[in-house]
Structure 1
Amino acid sequence: MTSQLKDVVEMYTDGACDPNPGVGGWAAILISPKHNHQRRELSGGEPRSTNNRMELTAAIMGLKALKRPCRVRVHTDSQYLQKAFTAGWLAKWQRNGWLTAARKPVENQDLWRALLELAAIHQIEWRWVMGHASDPLNERCDELAVQARRKVASEQRRSNGEDYSTGLSHTRRPYRLR
């Protein structure tokens, strides 16, 4: 199957969480050189997450957005994500019944399993890029992930009755008629 894949997609991913664990955001940028470098930006967030969960979610959502099997070059600043595939961590975890070398359950199994299913559809090259090192697309991805995180945090504060700009509560005391 993979030898027949002609479409190549460049995918940049990033996750953000502040604090960690805390409110998280993820982003993926998909670029299709075949289609005049058409670019698609995706992002989202969760009220309770971790950096690693957001990194994995970014890769999952980017791969889910592909309409057919492709050759994909995933650019990530997450060594956790990149090395799981390139250093054989995932294969070891699966052989060990999803236990680490220390015999503890692998964290984020739900996301790793989803990512493995999607990775089986595509031919993926996992590339590590240094974060915050002037790679324009990595920087844009970081910006989108942080924006998504901030949006979720703002929505959380509003739903809790707080003014996100001042932190003051909007709950009012009942007026008494005199």
Structure 2
Amino acid sequence: MAIVAYTDGSSLGNPGPGGYGLILLETEKMVKKEISQGFRLTTNNRMELMAVCVALETLKFTKTEITIFTDSKYVVDAVEKRWVFGWVKKGFKGKKNEDLWRRFLEVHKIHNVKFQWVKGHAGNVWNERADQLAVGAANNPANFKIDSYFEMNQNEE
């Protein structure tokens, strides 16, 4: 079974209220699932990475083949160029979003993950939908969660 995910993050101010959006598509059965969540104070890069983490955590079976489409060079380059694995060896010294990178690495290792960068706001229907979900979540304070790690560490970030 092959899964395709489109992920996006948004922050209204950086930092500011933010949200992520993601769409999971199961290609054989043509099943679609949309997920989004807003946070009262966060950053765009955190939301980009959070969307990827949630997409991987949502998968029901280990060793799932998944291609993640994202417009985040931050996420794609950190993984595809293997920077994040070097950051681990150096204890994430001087790097932001350690909590989310560690969360990503835990779930990344149990699946077969590929990344594909897509240009944002360029007419890709699924990327545009993920953006709508992320921005919608960032604009919905009634459903905000607290990005505790960021709020507790923002002066150090």
TM-score scaled to structure 2, two decimals? 0.88
- Partner amino acid, structure 1, of 2:109: A
Corresponding position: 1:47 with 2:50: no
Query: How far has the Cα of 1:155 moved from its partner?
Result: 6.1
Pairing 1:45-124 to 2, within 5 Å after superposition: 45-69=38-62, 70-99=64-93, 105-124=94-113
Q: Which residue among 123, 128, 131 is the counterpart of 1:134? A: 123
1:10 Cα offset (Å): 0.2
- Give structure 1 stretches of 5+ with no counterpart: 1-6, 100-104, 157-178
Structure with larger RCO (C-alpha < 8 A, sep 6+): 2
TM-score scaled by structure 1? 0.77
Q: Which has the larger radius of gyration?
A: 1
Measured after TM superposition, the shift of residue 50 of structure 1 is 0.1
Q: Secondary structure at the match of 2:110?
A: coil
**Could you list the per-position Cα deviations for residues 2-22 of structure 1 after superposition, in whole angstroms to 9, with x for gaps in the alignment?**
xxxxx2100000000011110
Provide the aligned C-alpha RMSD in A. 1.2
The residue type paired with residue 13 of structure 1 is T
How far has the Cα of 1:32 moved from its partner? Answer: 0.1
Aligned length: 143
Deviating 4+ runs (over 4 angstroms): none
